[in-house]
Structure 1
């Protein structure tokens, strides 16, 4: 298999944990959280942000449309850093060690444009990509094939020379159909092992 010329990271659940239900459980308990998520499709709301909707406006509009849950819905914006945490430190180390060896590292993420800009003020490593492909800016979301095509066109690297990790199988499957090398992320150690197998890092460099 060809040695990758660039490595592409998803962000949510790869570099930062993204478990909104866990945050709400901690605030209102699991039973009430289940009621909230059954009454309001917060993940669909977030997908609208990922597709280009304004972060605050989209959340606050959903709150206005669901007054019984307005306070809790606004937390999605007001306490976003609580939803998008903690950092996955081993993955961040891998990103930095790849870049330290001169290997281009990109992000390909379903993320609102203004939400990503805010996240960059909270997580310094989000400023360290050689290229960041953010769905909210591109007005395309994974796993639509068009977003992968735009990455290929912009970076100019052949699909077979791209190595991509993501925690969602549907996102990985689309990349694989385009000829990308892929790794389904289930934890940083497995990703570290994959980077060693690809010849990009030594076992020592892949350690936490």
Structure 2
């Protein structure tokens, strides 16, 4: 069946997202490990990804943990330093698909506020035919509803969608709906998948 749209996750597919790596040089690996063990920072981020106000959520979370208040606030105040760098080969693949007229979507767990920060800096995030951003949708992957919303909005049948994501549970949820999927473990594997679906030639996928 012909693929009608290619769907990219963003974090760790197009942009590296490793908050632990950000904190290590800031506060030291041992303190970082202690903070992440005591504070559910990824759970905090999930709240933002579901549509909560970015600053208010982070600052409220920080207030609950006086020992770590300054460090937690960095999640907001220095967020752009966490969400870096871009993954150049993945960006080239997106550009190559767009250049060939292939419909491309983003489907990403991203907050309203963080998306507003990222899009002026990473211009390629504005190149999708449509960006499905969880904060605006009020639901996050791997909830089945977010995939259903993509199908409803795009009007494209599940079997004509090709999706990559770095999290196995997100891929499994999409596959359960009949989407073609690729578990992202690096851009070369994704490039090979795009070639195998005849969406790009080997030269275009370099």
Does TM, normalized by the shorter one, top 0.5?
yes
- How far apart are 1:45 and its partner, in Å? 0.2
Q: Which ranges in structure 2 are unaligned for 5 or more consecutive residues?
A: none
What residue number does 1:49 align with? 48
RMSD of aligned Cα (Å): 0.6
Cα distance in 2 for residues equivalent to 1:204 and 1:26: 39
**Counterpart contact for 1:10–1:107, Cα < 8 Å:** yes
In the alignment, is the contact (CA less than 8 A) between 1:14 and 1:167 conserved in 2? yes
What secondary structure, in the 3-state scheme, does the structure 2 residue paired with 1:186 have?
coil
Determine the C-alpha separation between the residues in 2 that align with 1:101 and 1:8. Answer: 15
Look up the SS of the partner of 1:152 in the other structure: helix
Equivalent positions of 1:31-180 (< 5 A) are 31-180=30-179
* Pair 1:182-2:181 in alignment: yes
Which stretches of structure 1, 4 residues or more, deviate above 6 A after TM superposition?
none
CA drift at 1:3: 2.4
Give aligned pairs, total: 206
5+ long unaligned stretches in structure 1:
none
Secondary structure of 1:132's aligned partner:
strand
The equivalent of 1:198 in structure 2 is 197
TM-score by length of structure 2 reads 0.99
Bigger drift between 178-187 and 64-73 goes to 64-73
Distance in 1 (CA, whole Å) between partners of 2:80 and 2:196 is 34
Q: For each residue in 1:7-47, what CA deviation from the matched residue of structure 2 results, as whole angstroms up to 9, or x when unmatched?
A: 00000000000000000112111100011111111000000
On the 8 A contact 1:167/1:185 being kept in 2, the answer is yes
* 8 A Cα contact 1:9 1:108, kept in partner: yes
* Conserved 8 A contact 1:144-1:174: yes
Aligned partners of 1:57, 1:186: CA distance in 2, in Å?
34
Q: What TM-score does the superposition give when structure 1 sets the normalisation length?
A: 0.98
Contact 2:80–2:117 under 8 Å retained in 1: no
- Match of 2:120, SS state, is helix
Q: Distance in 1 between matches of 2:121 and 2:89?
A: 18
Q: Say whether the 8 Å CA contact 1:59–1:77 is kept in structure 2.
A: yes
Deviation at 1:102, TM superposition (A): 0.4
Q: What is the alpha-carbon distance in structure 2 between the residues aligned to residue 57 and residue 117 of structure 1?
A: 15
